[in-house]
Amino acid sequence: MTGATGYVGRVVVRELRFHGHEPVVSRQRLSEPFDATELSGVGAVIHLAAVARVRESFLDPVRYYGTNVGGTLNLLEALQGQRFLLASTGGVYRPSDEPLTEDAAREPSSPYAATKAAAEDLVAWTARSGRIGATTLRLFNVAGGGDTDTTRVITRAVASAAGTVPGMEVYGDGSAVRDFVHVRDVAAAFVVALEACEVGTSSVYNVGATPASVRDVLDTVSAVTGRPVPVEWKPAHPGEVRFQRADVTRLRGLGWEPRHSSLEEIVTDQWLASAPGPGPGPSR
């Protein structure tokens, strides 16, 4: 398993162990070739490691392609007969006012998303050759449970309420909608997808749960923490995606249900896990 010590990876490791799996943590750099003999006894690889900041990817697309596509290639070259699960992103899709199914058109709007789309294709074609079994999970906005990346909207809003960052910038009027999912529900999705994956097949699943606007997030953070969120309002970016929602019918077909992804639970878990001295919180 790559990326096991990251935000999502730590929770996936716990979920795998809870369901009787024995994850083996890879500490090898993705830029280095993997030893096929070391992976010969491994039944499945869950590939979470990546560089994943959208704005940063515009500044250094070469690094993003080298890590996210090249690293995936290095892994696949060492595999024969294993199952392979790739963490991708809902950012690969063309914007749409309708809920996005896995068959919706892809149109990455950043180098980061483009690297994930390229890695998806590489994994799918490798599965089609019969070399591996492949499952791609397109994660939407993962949140809650101690995320430290304050470029993400919920994490930033909670940190702003806690006073650990000076505030947050909101572009537009706050009506843009994103699909949020608790990191614990993401981990559960990886387990059910792993157990459904078979060599020679390739599947794709959306992982989302709760559509909410930026204003919904701000209101929920204020209600949960009992503190205001300092906001600097700025003009909307031209071409900003106004609505993004995942259709998760296919993943539900495996028996998955989002059990922790109400906006209130996501915000509460983020607040409890990461806010220093949160104080009394909201009055009841």
CATH number of the domain that residue 107 is part of: 3.40.50.720
- The answer as to whether 137 is a domain residue is yes
- The answer as to whether 191 is a domain residue is yes
Chain segment 259-283, per-residue pLDDT in tens: 999 999 999 999 999 755 544 444 3
Structure tokens at 132: 């591996």
- The answer as to whether 158 is a domain residue is yes
Domain that holds residue 15: 7-274
Number of domains in the chain: 1
- The answer as to whether 1 is a domain residue is no
pTM given for the model: 0.94
Chain segment 116-125, per-residue pLDDT in tens: 999 999 999 9
Placement of tokens 């019918």 in the chain:
249
CB hemisphere CA count around 48 (13 angstroms): 22
Residues of the chain with pLDDT under 50: 278-284
Res 29: pLDDT = 86
Type of residue at 252? R
Type of residue at 188? A
Res 203: pLDDT = 98
- Select from 121, 146, 147, 151 the least CA-distant residue to 136: 121
Res 275: pLDDT = 57
- The answer as to whether 283 is a domain residue is no
